Amino acid sequence: MTKKDDTIKEFTALKGVGKNKAELLYDHGFNSLQKLKKTSVEDLVKVKGITKKNAQDILSQLQEKKPAAKKTQKKTGTKKESTKPNLKKDEKDTVTETQETKPEEAVEIVEAEGKYHVKKKPELTDKQKQQLIQRKHIKGRTPRFLRDQWFRYKRIPMNWRRPRGITSKFRMNKGYRPSLVRVGFRGPKDVRGLHSSGFEEVLIHTVSDLQKLNPKTQAARVGGTVGTRKRIDIAKKAAELDIRILNMKV
């Protein structure tokens, strides 16, 4: 490999300099990185294909290269131990003890603050537990029921309405039309209408409504019109009666 090939290889290592630009730089008298570093932006712009911005980028890269090399020399030449002050054996033991105890204390604080409280679960029979799992599988394969001609007109919303047309292919349940709402998509009877947790939802608006609930099988859902002050009172009372609120963190 000749000297020209070596210098062109060094030039191409710079960002924004290809093989053609590297050869042009060499032909204009820049036969080493040192010469290229000493030159100015005005001289580089004279080379065909190099703009002012490109010239500035090349020179900035060459200036940054020197300190990077010094860092590597420091890492290879010196050891980490030399930078540390000389400590006696007893002092070293105390330093290691403090370093080991600090992270343990921090972990304990985090665990105490972010303690997880298990949510209350209903009392269900084995049959109901099995049917809840079955209902989840049924819901997973149930399609989204859409209205007839929903894809054709913008004015028709993407909701469900029973098709009524005499010639409607959707009503006749032709194979190329979406599925119709049918009883086959219903969930098991014993868990029908229950929350996914297994509780029976009861809508409440006042603190006194909590007295009517059975904590073992029923859970409360606070109405949307209830204010913040009353919500706090409901949460306190629910904690006393051991009642789960589905739409509030207690």
Q: Where are the domains of the chain?
A: 3-77, 146-180
> What pLDDT, on a 0 to 100 scale, did the predictor assign at position 91?
53
Query: CA 209 to CA 245: how far, in whole Å?
Result: 12
Among 111, 113, 134, which residue's Cα sits nearest to residue 192?
134
Secondary structure E strands in the chain: 200-204, 218-222
> What pLDDT, on a 0 to 100 scale, did the predictor assign at position 6?
78
**Mean pLDDT, consecutive 10-residue segments, the chain of 250 residues?**
74 77 78 77 77 79 59 46 50 49 41 66 92 92 90 91 91 86 90 93 95 94 94 94 87
Q: Is the dihedral of CA 146, 148, 152, 156 positive or negative?
A: negative
Q: At what angle do helices 19-27 and 3-12 cross, to 10 degrees?
A: 130
Cα 24 vs. chain centroid, distance in angstroms?
Answer: 49
- Which 8-state DSSP code applies to residue 200? E
Q: Please enumerate in sequence order all residues whose Cβ is within 8 A of that of 142, keeping only pairs 6 or more positions apart, or say none.
A: 185
- Per CATH, the number for 3-77 is 1.10.150.20
> What pLDDT, on a 0 to 100 scale, did the predictor assign at position 111?
41
